[in-house]
Structure 1
């Protein structure tokens, strides 16, 4: 193509047609500029297409993350509900004489959970410098609310519960000197390797005594309250994740 244009120029110059040459040269420059602009526009379209494809892929991954979150949160909610329901029924009793040893241990175990929001894809989104994954402003706002605000609130509750639960376990396992933890609650295979001092009946009575004292009872009550508050946070964030999934699905199908 360039050889073709060059021959035309040479032919016009050789024939002394300067005016026509100038017009042709200007026309050639215009064509070159148009060609450059078209090439730039095509590159721009390709860049936009690549970014849109990347956003679509990231939105699909966020949907998968949310689906995993709902499964994990549902499992955690089930555990916390079972735990708090049992503790509520035990705390309503005026005597622990008929309560099984396993249920008495549930009262003092102060188990904590660490199930947080899966922010892997959302963090990748931010690291790539993508401020908006979609033009749907409402969906963008809800995603920010879920991954920033609700996630941070949940982590604050988890941190609080973890710290306070550790203090509670420290009391029952190390700081009191009347009750010996039953070896069957230890995570080891051969439990016969650990000898249990004292008579089981007396050990049980000592635990019931501690659970009847203000200090022991306060630890149990505060653990119950924390788990109830944490349960409510998990329910809220579970519902938020569940609500987002169909909205993302609709956005992906546009």
Structure 2
């Protein structure tokens, strides 16, 4: 193509048609410029398509981990509800003297957990998302997760600094027969065996500090459950939104 253009220009010069030569040269330049602009446009379109594909790929990976968060949060919530029911039942026992059947007394001294995965796996990716609304939604969700972590830390602090010293050190409510079962030295809770002696616990329940402690535990686990519930609502909204963008 270039050889043809050059041949035409040489012919025009030889024939002395300078005006035609000039117009032809300008036309040639315009044609080259138009070709460059078209190439740039095509490159921009291809780049935009690639960026869109990458964004959708990120959405899909985030959705996978958001659903994992949802399943984990559901399990944490179920277990936390058992803690809550335990404190209500213990308060009932104090009031009416009912028995310990169905009560997980180990929850007086047991920690709780919360370990979602989306923030750890995608924090850097989310900061690079081009859609501001999506990025803000996910960061808002991360804020909700931080509140759950705060609730988790607050509850575990109550357990370690107040409940355990009171029940295990001051009043020694451990069930030593279960703890020191020489023929089976595995962790008793994993075997479904309570480490709390309910006979000892029944006596402790008459002390003035028992109700204040389980009241604190009840309020703290309530904050934990409410925080999880709010994070799950946000989680489900984001999943629905991202699935609608794919």
Counterpart Cα distance in 1 of 2:209 and 2:104: 16
Give secondary structure in 2 for the equivalent of 1:20.
Answer: helix
Distance 2:82 2:172 in 1: 28
Contact 2:173 2:198 in 1 (8 A): yes
User: What TM-score does the superposition give when structure 2 sets the normalisation length?
Assistant: 0.79
1-side partners of 2:175 and 2:213: how far apart? 17
Gaps of 5+ in 2: 187-196
Distance 2:165 2:93 in 1: 22
Match for residue 242 of structure 2 among 238, 242, 248: 248
Question: Matched residue of 1:212: which SS?
Answer: coil
Q: Which of 208, 219, 242 does residue 225 from structure 1 map onto? A: 219
Taking structure 1 as reference, are residues 130 and 70 closer, same or farther at Cα in structure 2, changes over 3 Å only? closer
Alignment root-mean-square deviation, CA: 3.2
Which whole-Å CA distance do the structure 1 matches of 2:222 and 2:89 have between them? Answer: 14
Separation in 2 of the partners of 1:98 and 1:154? Answer: 33
* 8 Å CA contact retained: 1:84, 1:228: yes
Question: Residues 160, 178 of structure 1: CA spacing in aligned structure 2 closer, same or farther, 3 A cutoff?
Answer: closer
Is the 1:66–1:245 contact (alpha carbons within 8 Å) kept by the matching residues of 2?
Answer: yes
Deviation larger for 112-121 or 13-22:
112-121
1:81 aligns with 2:81: yes
CA separation of 1:57 and 1:23: change in aligned 2, threshold 3 A: same
Counterpart position of 2:189: none
1:66–1:46 distance in 2 versus 1, CA, 3 Å: same
- CA distance in 1 between counterparts of 2:97 and 2:185 reads 27
The alpha carbon displacement at 1:151 in A equals 2.3
Task: Count matched residues.
Answer: 236
Q: Determine the C-alpha separation between the residues in 2 that align with 1:76 and 1:126.
A: 25
Unaligned runs of 5+ in 1: 193-202
The equivalent of 1:72 in structure 2 is 72
Take 1:164 and 1:7, find their aligned partners in 2: how far apart are those partners? 91
Alignment match, 2:63: 63
Alignment TM-score, normalising by the size of structure 1: 0.77
Q: What's the counterpart of residue 4 of structure 1?
A: 4
For 1:61 and 1:189, the matched residues in 2 are separated by 47
What SS class does the counterpart of residue 220 from structure 1 fall into? Answer: helix
Partners of 2:230 and 2:139 lie apart in 1 by: 15
Counterpart in the other structure of 1:197? none
CA, structure 1 residues 170+99, in 2 after alignment: closer, same or farther (shift >3 Å)? same
